[in-house]
Chain A
Amino acid sequence: MLIQFLQDAFFAAIAAIGFAAISNPPKKAYLLCAIIAAVGHSARFLMMQPDVFGLHIVAASTIAAFIIGFLAVLLSPYGKMPAETCLFPSLLPMIPGIYAYKAFGGLIMCLTHSKEADFDHYFFLFANNGLTCLFILLGMVVGATLPIFFLKNISFQATR
């Protein structure tokens, strides 16, 4: 369990650095993104474990995003960066990409299957994946933006 937890944190950090690189961050942001993403993603991993909290992925992502948002707002003034510069790349490893394209795949399958039972099955997959994806995204952004609004003075003056 501990090894899995540490592995989750380590790979989330690598994922955050790589995906951050795509969106051209300032050099100082890489390290902060890696640390914040590692803490956030491993926290979500822990919360989703059935023998720890066993939370649903939406709830776990929201709380993890809140932790990420809080850390990003507190740490971003050290790099003189807007909170989003650390925040958004750190959230990227939690983006529900697989749910998103499975929803689209389900939709295509709906179109190619006209029998009611098959259609129902694929429509279920489309709706299930699509709704999960939407609510994870919504939960993540609500969770991550709350600290920005709670700590407005820090978050909007970080680049001062």
Chain B
Amino acid sequence: MTKAEEIYTDTDLAESDRQTEERACLQEICLFLSEYSAWLLGSGATSIRLERNVRRMAQSLGCEAEMTILPRHIHMTVCLPDRSECYTYIIATHPMPISFNINTRLSRLSWSMADDRIGFAEAKAKFKEIISTPPTDKHLVLFLASCANAAFCRLFTGDWAAVGVVFLSTLAGFYLKQVLSEHKVDVRLIFIICAFVSSVLASTAGLFSLGNTPDVAVGTSVLYLVPGIPFLNSFSDMLDGHYICAFGRFMNALVLTSCLSLGLCGGMMMMNLSMF
């Protein structure tokens, strides 16, 4: 082998080594960003926030990221600025209850990376720590949600007897929701059952002549089930031009609202009450 040939082979090998390393690195970045997106979207972030966070992180890692956000999947492509290398991955969004705590901490993580406060390895470790954040204490949530629904009853001009009935019927319904969720029952079925139970319990205000506003008690007893955040996220995505994602989220919220209405109608029919 001549000297030139030797040098050529050496540089060639070095080049291919560098490329393999870069590709592995790009692959790792793409997998990390996909995982990050799956969790951020699952925790209830809007599409605009997801796009901004991911682009910010990709930039800090010296590459560019583009993605398609679908209702249940994210299609992520990460490439080098000169487009010489590209890596694509499709990931399913992480099914989980909405968590603004995880959303907030993941957003902070993106800024920590963008401002070069932490490196890639540290970011990965931090990400693992964030996604294992435990949810809010369930007994506290149960109590606060019941108080909230009772306050709602008061806002809709219910009297104190109605407020008390709504508090208790929400307590029972929400507890049932927590138990059924733990047993991994289908969320639509949970909504029907809980709305039915809460409305039947709330109709006792009319049955035992408690107070003067039994209709308000029944009407507000199921409001803790209204999927407010999915509705807001859907319209927020729509304003931002993410129509497919907006439609997906809207349908999801609509199906849940229909289920809760179905449970409520069933409860009212059983108690011989009319909605209008």
Taking Cβ atoms with an 8 Å cutoff, the residues of A that contact B are 7-8, 11-12, 14-26, 29, 41, 80-82, 84-85, 88-89, 91-93, 95, 97-98, 100-102, 104-106, 108-109, 122, 125, 137-138, 140-142, 144-145, 156-157, 159-160
Contacts and interface: CB of A to CB of B under 8 A. Distances in A.
Contacts of B187: none
Given A82-B49, A105-B275, 16 more contacts: A18-B146, A18-B148, A23-B229, A24-B101, A24-B135, A29-B100, A88-B233, A89-B100, A92-B228, A102-B276, A137-B231, A144-B232, A145-B236, A159-B104, A159-B111, A160-B111
Nearest to B49: A82
Given A25-B101, A26-B104, A101-B261, A15 B156 contact: no
Contacts, number: 163
Contacts of B260: 101
A127 to B, nearest CB: 14
B72 interface: no
B231 A11 contact: no
A85 B104 contact: yes
B103 interface: yes
Interface residues of B, number: 58
Interface stretch (B74-82, B87-95, B216-224): B216-224
B147 A19 contact: no
Contacts of B276: 102, 105-106, 109, 122, 125
A156 B45 contact: no
Contacts of A22: 98, 141, 145, 224
Interface of B: 44-46, 49, 52, 97-105, 107-108, 110-111, 115, 135-136, 140-141, 144-149, 151-152, 154-156, 219-220, 222-224, 226, 228-229, 231-233, 235-236, 238-239, 257-258, 260-262, 264-265, 275-276
Q: Which of A23, A100, A156 has the most CB of B within 10 A?
A: A23
A15 B229 contact: no
A85 B262 CA distance: 31
